[in-house]
Structure 1
Amino acid sequence: MGGFLKSSIAKKVAMALSGLFLVLFLLQHFTINFTSVFSEDLFNELSHFMGTNFLVQSILQPVLIFGVIFHFVMGFVLEAKNRGARNVKYVKYNGGANSSWMSRNMIYSGLVVLAFLVLHFYDFWVPELVHKYVESHPEDASRYYGELVAKFQDPIRVAAYCLSFVFLSLHLLHGFSSSFQSMGWNNKYAKGVRGLTVAYAIIIPLGFIFIALFHYINNL
Structure 2
Amino acid sequence: MGGIKTSIARKVAMALSGLFLVLFLLQHFTINFTSVVSPDTFNEISHFMGTNFLVQAILQPILIFGVIFHFVMGFILEAKNRSARSVKYGVFKGNANSSWLSRNMLISGAVVLAFLGLHFYDFWVHEMQVKYLEGDLSGLNQAGEFRYYEETVAKFAGQPIRVGLYVLAFVFLMMHLLHGFASSFQTMGVNNKYSPAIKKFTKAFAIVIPLGFVFIAIFHFINN
Match of 2:139, SS state, is coil
Pairwise CA distance, 1:140 = 2.4
Counterpart AA for 1:49: F
**In structure 1, what is the equivalent of residue 12 of structure 2?**
13
Match of 1:210, SS state, is helix
**In structure 2, what is the equivalent of residue 205 of structure 1?**
210
> What's the % identity of the aligned pairs?
71
Write the distance in 2 (CA, Å) between the matches of 1:204 and 1:188: 25
Summarize the alignment of residues 12-91 of structure 1 with structure 2, pairs less than 5 Å apart. 12-88=11-87
**In structure 1, what is the equivalent of residue 100 of structure 2?**
101
Match of 2:138, SS state, is coil
Pairwise CA distance, 1:4 = 7.2
**In structure 1, what is the equivalent of residue 151 of structure 2?**
147
Pairwise CA distance, 1:167 = 0.2
TM-score, scaled relative to structure 1: 0.94
Residue 189 in structure 1 maps to residue 188 in structure 2: no
Pairwise CA distance, 1:138 = 4.7
Equivalent in 144, 155, 163 of residue 158 of structure 1: 163
Do the aligned partners of 2:51 and 2:137 also contact (CA within 8 Å) in 1? no
Write the distance in 1 (CA, Å) between the matches of 2:93 and 2:73: 21
Pairwise CA distance, 1:113 = 0.1
Pairwise CA distance, 1:5 = 9.0
Pairwise CA distance, 1:119 = 0.5
**In structure 2, what is the equivalent of residue 136 of structure 1?**
135
TM-score, scaled relative to structure 2: 0.92
Pairwise CA distance, 1:87 = 4.3
Write the distance in 2 (CA, Å) between the matches of 1:137 and 1:184: 48
Match of 1:7, SS state, is helix
- Count residues with an aligned counterpart: 217
Match of 1:66, SS state, is helix
Pairwise CA distance, 1:86 = 2.2
Counterpart AA for 2:39: E
Write the distance in 1 (CA, Å) between the matches of 2:149 and 2:38: 9
**In structure 2, what is the equivalent of residue 174 of structure 1?**
179
Match of 1:187, SS state, is coil
Q: Deviations over 1:103-125 (max 9, x none)?
A: 00000000000000010000000
Do the aligned partners of 1:109 and 1:170 also contact (CA within 8 Å) in 2? yes
Pairwise CA distance, 1:3 = 3.5
Pairwise CA distance, 1:98 = 1.5
Pairwise CA distance, 1:12 = 0.4
| Cα RMSD, aligned residues only | 1.7
Q: Unpaired runs of 5+ in structure 2? A: 141-145
Pairwise CA distance, 1:38 = 1.3
Write the distance in 1 (CA, Å) between the matches of 2:121 and 2:38: 25
Pairwise CA distance, 1:92 = 3.8
Counterpart AA for 2:156: F
Q: Unpaired runs of 5+ in structure 1? A: none
Pairwise CA distance, 1:66 = 0.3
Do the aligned partners of 1:113 and 1:167 also contact (CA within 8 Å) in 2? yes
Structure 2 vs 1, CA of residues 93 and 181 (structure 1 numbering), >3 Å: closer, same or farther?
Answer: farther
